[in-house]
Copies of this chain bind each other. A is one copy, B any other.
Amino acid sequence: MPQKFAFTTAAMAAALEETTVSYEDLADIERDFDDAETDIIRKQVLLTVPLYSRRSKTISQIPNFWPLVLEQAPPDIDQYIQPSDSALLLSSLQNLSVSHFEIDSEDGSRGDPRSVSIRFEFAENEYFEDTVLEKKFWYRRSRDGWAGLVSEPVPIKWKKDRDLTGGLLDMVVKAWEADRSSAKSTGSGAVKPKGGLSPEQKALKKKIENTGMGGLSFFAWFGFIGRQVSAEESAAATALERQKRAQREARKNSKRKSMERSRSSTPSSDGEEEEAAGEGSDDDVGMSLEIFPDGDDLAVAFTEDLWPGAIKYFTQAQEQDALSDADFESDDDEDEDLHEPADDSEDEDERPAKKKQRSE
């Protein structure tokens, strides 16, 4: 904590020890807020679908709209775009869209609104054959309580000697497919072979270990998998979590009532049934084979920032151009100062610097 606060730490360390409120009580409140937030996202998606469709129609008339938006992408996206990626994106990206594909357009109350699909449309280009690359992210909950976005690798049909991932993406796809088919043949669903890595996984692991991942292409993102949580596991874990939460709530209410009846009863200990059924080892294997560990964060940045803010970023790009035209003298230096890639401290640039607190 900041020095100014430090002197009272001792008095505060035990804030929770002095009450009957447990961490689990607080966590349950947070879970209720999460549920409400999910409802809100659902409403927001349904309310804005027609607006996004009107926006798409308008911006489709503007040449280079999406390349210009990407040019102004915030650092949490920009940091992953290498020079060769942007050459491709600038010359060939024709459209970008984000959809909440699990939401049923006829019955908006179904499906998870946090699941998203991010779709790129490309003109013919010298790098790959595909004209559409679409990456889907499912919002899932695992048995051990983790919740977040998971995905499946999306293959790219690279032209000869043009693979920007240097073969990594292909190997992820191969290891994934081998894993799937072996899981199917053993009839064990999403459970992986216990005997360690498959030959394809071993090859991928070696490749990752021998590759400097520093200048990794943006397109390696299409290989992101994340945790392997099936739809079935997620549904079961979500149902179980809700059930336990309701039980805790009921127990707490009955305890409160019994305490109101008689203040002399000893309180029963809370949260005794808490479990942590972590499958850590399974997950560790997954992460060591992950070529784009922040893939879920990047999906969130597209969904919550670049997509809703596209017109703002486009306008910034236009203003930047106007500025460059006017101020041709020190053009290059300034540009670099403003947008040195992969520097997180730049987040500040996002906020329009309309005014500053006086300080001296």
CB within 8 Å of B: which residues of A?
Answer: 1-6, 8-9, 11-13, 15-16, 18-21, 23, 25-26, 29-30, 32-33, 36, 39-40, 43-44, 47-48, 51, 54-55, 58-59, 61-65, 67-68, 71-72, 78, 80-83, 86-87, 90-91, 212-214, 216, 287, 292-294, 308, 311-312, 314-315, 317-318, 320-321, 324-325, 332, 335-336, 339-341, 344-345, 347-348, 355-360
Contact = CB atoms under 8 A, between A and B. Distances in A.
Contact of A29 (B51, B78, B294, B357): B51
A68 B355 contact: no
Stoichiometry (number of copies): 2
Nearest to A55: B29
Nearest to A4: B83
Contacts of A58: 21, 25-26, 29
B336 A344 contact: no
B33 A86 contact: no
- The 6 A-B pairs at the shortest CB distance, nearest first, are namely A213-B358, A345-B345, A4-B83, A2-B339, A13-B321, A5-B71
B3 A65 contact: no
Nearest to A292: B357
Given A8-B90, A214-B359, A51 B33 contact: yes
Given A55-B29, A321-B9, A81 B4 contact: yes
Given A51-B29, A86-B4, A293 B62 contact: no
A63 B314 CA distance: 49
